[in-house]
Amino acid sequence: MRHRSLLASACAALALAAAVPALAEAPAAPTSGAVASTQGSTAFNYNDMISANRLGDPQVSPDGRWVVYSVTTTDVAANRRAGALFMQDLQNAGEPVRLAINEGGANTARWGSDGKLYFLSGRSGTSQVWRADADGTNPVQVTNLPLDVNAYRLSGDGSKVAVSLAVFPNCADLACTVDRNKAVADDPATGQVYDRMFVRHWDTWADGTQNHLFVVNADGSGQPVHVTKGFDGDTPSKPFGDESEFTFTPDGQSIIFSAREAGSSEPWSTNFDLYQVAVSAPGQFTNLTDNNDAWDTGPVFSPDGKTMAYRAMARPGFEADKYSIFLRDVASGDVRQVAANWDRSADSLQWSKDGRTLYVTAGDVGQTRLFSIDARNGSVVPITGEGHVSAFQQTPSGFVFAQDTLRRPSELFVKTFRGREMPRQITNVNPQLDDKVFGEAEQFNFPGWNGETVHGYVIKPANYVEGQKYPVAFLIHGGPQGSFGNSWSYRWNPSTYAGAGYAVVMIDFHGSTGYGQGFTDAISQHWGDRPLEDLQKGWAAAQEKYAFLDGDNACALGASYGGYMINWIAGQWSDEFKCLVNHDGVFDIRGMGYGTEELWFTEWEYGGTPYENPEGYERFNPVHHVQNWKTPMLVVQGDLDFRIPTAQGLSTFTALQRRGIESKLIVFPNENHWVLKPANSLQWHNEVFGWLDHYLKPAS
């Protein structure tokens, strides 16, 4: 994934000559990097969150001198966001530089072995791969294809580029896909005929195209080679796959890619395999992981090219299984597992420069840490402490990583390999937050279901005064295999509630991630009993431990599985909360089993199909307990949510209205499972906080 080049030191003078824009365009970050104080004068609020700048995708130059990263800014009034690329000197303190390539639009920056900076841009009319000098000047178009490039990879020697394009798989060439797209657009008849699933996925109706891989020469010569021609499947996977799912072999002669054969069983299969295909023999695939019917992904080659590391699950059909790490000997094909006894699920994966160590991120008791794993004996050592590491890169002396917390959005930090010192912050893309007051967060634990330890967080309101009691927002996370840990969110952000004068309680109930796979597994086929017991015991434990919580003045809120739990609480724990907020929650589990798109999820969670195991779908089904509902509820639904379709939200609202319970319904016609557009996010928060204020009336 990471590409090496030699960056001339003369680049510094050229880079520093570029102008740094005003904050409204994109922020500049000082390199002094002290962690921002939370002792300000104004409480952080949801307007601050929506308009905050978003840092991501750090990429370090091969000599370790520079890091390029993206910053996304939000114009709430114009209801749009824009991204820009910045470069930061890692050796000398100074201001970051906004790269000149941003003027035509630029994203997904990667370093090439030719000493250039590659990126995606739509400046030619379609999204293509471009190349610029290391300081971001002199951009040159690399690919000139008639379709958008949605992901790309460079070969190790920089001579080739693998790109992913959405094509009709039975088309002989790209022109055929272009013609068919035009014919569909021009046809006044709009009906789409399906003879297999997926019919729709996440927020998009299937149009017959698949993501296929093509290889082009980086110098622009020759024709694109359709290496996955004849493969019935997507690379990268839909809807969230990226270039980590495919890579060149070290010699640049083959592609390794992760994909699932679609066929007629795609919606209920998680059997992603790693395939190898030679660039010179397109369409001739070798399945490297045929012995595993579960998920295999993330191929990464060791520096000497002799070993391929990858991540794999063990149980077919279970999307929340633990990702274990495997090493495949390239010459013999022998495979062995590394750190088999480590009870954490590996996320992003990199080799050390000497090939002796693997670096991974993983959820760990409310944090997401960076770990080192000895490739020989599997010993695991944490590198980072509290917080959420979302991306990392190696430097000659250590790491650059993006990290966020409950009280600060993502910034870049540096840390040496073996140093005991605290990570040093080198960016500050949100200086306007430096003077904001954030509520103080504390992790706690208690004995939950089966007497097992369960963790949670309590956050004091930003206006906290010792001795006072405060109304409570009781937040329930989705997934359900997820976590409300020490991380930032631009959607469900606990600090926005604290800024509005609420105390916040969040419980990582059984089913949450980062506490061992057995803890995660405990929720499957137990949606309504074990997690509810944890929530009830956690709520009681929090009130006993934190005297400032006003347990008689609380509302519960949740999305997705959290929304399901709100519906379940309405029928099972109806006297505890003054109001409820349900965002895209399940109302009828059996209807969900037939209406959702990723059927492997419901079939694993409820123990089979609705017709094979109807009891599994009815045991914890909120629809059977509507007669017990009495708590006022705000219902939110995205009309493009194909995961938990609109009928679920409408049914919830119908039940509330028919029973005469005070309720509201908000439908976002242009949002999916998440509310992403700035104006809609603002409306969402206005409605939700207005609902809470109405019932809880927090003290000013």
Place of tokens 């921002």: 36
Residue 481 is predicted with a pLDDT of: 99
Please report, rounded to a whole number, the percentage of residues in the chain having pLDDT higher than 70: 94
Q: Kindly indicate the confidence band of residue 94, based on its pLDDT and cuts at 50, 70 and 90.
A: confident
Residue 650 is predicted with a pLDDT of: 99
Can you tell me the distance from the alpha carbon of 561 to that of 480, in angstroms, rounded to the nearest whole number?
5
CATH 3.40.50.1820 spans which residues of the chain?
439-696
Can you tell me the distance from the alpha carbon of 89 to that of 79, in angstroms, rounded to the nearest whole number?
33
Helix (H) or strand (E) holding 694, with range, is helix 678-696
Residues 264-286, mean pLDDT to the nearest whole number: 98
Q: Kindly indicate the confidence band of residue 5, based on its pLDDT and cuts at 50, 70 and 90.
A: very low
- Of 108, 19, 93, 92, which is closest to residue 58 (Cα–Cα)? 108
The pLDDT tens digits for 123-166 are: 999 999 999 999 999 999 999 999 999 999 999 999 999 999 99
User: What's the length of the chain?
Assistant: 700
- Of 599, 675, 611, 664, which is closest to residue 639 (Cα–Cα)? 675
For residue 446, pLDDT beyond 60: yes
DSSP 217: E
Helix (H) or strand (E) holding 685, with range, is helix 678-696
Residues 618-647, mean pLDDT to the nearest whole number: 99
Helices (H), 217-355: none
Residue 103 is predicted with a pLDDT of: 85
For residue 6, pLDDT beyond 70: no
Residues 274-283, mean pLDDT to the nearest whole number: 98
Q: Kindly indicate the confidence band of residue 421, based on its pLDDT and cuts at 50, 70 and 90.
A: confident
Residue 33 is predicted with a pLDDT of: 31
Residue 164 is predicted with a pLDDT of: 99
- Under 8 Å between Cβ of 345 and 362: yes
Buried b (16+ CB within 10 A) or exposed e, 577-601: bbbbbbbbbbbbbbbbbebbbbbbb
Buried b (16+ CB within 10 A) or exposed e, 646-666: bebbebbbbbbeeeebebebb
Residues 112-133, mean pLDDT to the nearest whole number: 95
Residues 220-246, mean pLDDT to the nearest whole number: 98
Can you tell me the distance from the alpha carbon of 663 to that of 634, in angstroms, rounded to the nearest whole number?
6
- Under 8 Å between Cβ of 392 and 402: yes
Residue 253 is predicted with a pLDDT of: 98
Q: Note if the bond before 480 is cis, omega within 30 degrees.
A: yes
Can you tell me the distance from the alpha carbon of 399 to that of 392, in angstroms, rounded to the nearest whole number?
7
Residue 514 is predicted with a pLDDT of: 99
The pLDDT tens digits for 312-358 are: 999 999 999 999 999 999 999 999 999 999 999 999 999 999 999 99
Residue 2 is predicted with a pLDDT of: 32
The CATH homologous superfamily to which domain 439-696 belongs is Alpha/Beta hydrolase fold, catalytic domain (3.40.50.1820)
The pLDDT tens digits for 174-217 are: 999 999 999 999 999 999 999 999 999 999 999 999 999 999 99
For residue 93, pLDDT beyond 90: no
The pLDDT tens digits for 536-556 are: 999 999 999 999 999 999 999
**Alpha carbon of 445 to those of 451, 476, 505, 537, 625: distances in Å?**
12, 16, 12, 10, 31
Residue 700 is predicted with a pLDDT of: 52
Environment class of residue 114 by beta-carbon count within 10 Å: exposed (0-12), middle (13-18) or buried (19+)?
Answer: middle
Q: What mean pLDDT is reported for the chain? A: 94
Under DSSP, is residue 80 helix (H, G, I), strand (E, B) or coil? strand
Can you tell me the distance from the alpha carbon of 563 to that of 316, in angstroms, rounded to the nearest whole number?
27
For residue 673, pLDDT beyond 70: yes
Can you tell me the distance from the alpha carbon of 17 to that of 223, in angstroms, rounded to the nearest whole number?
38
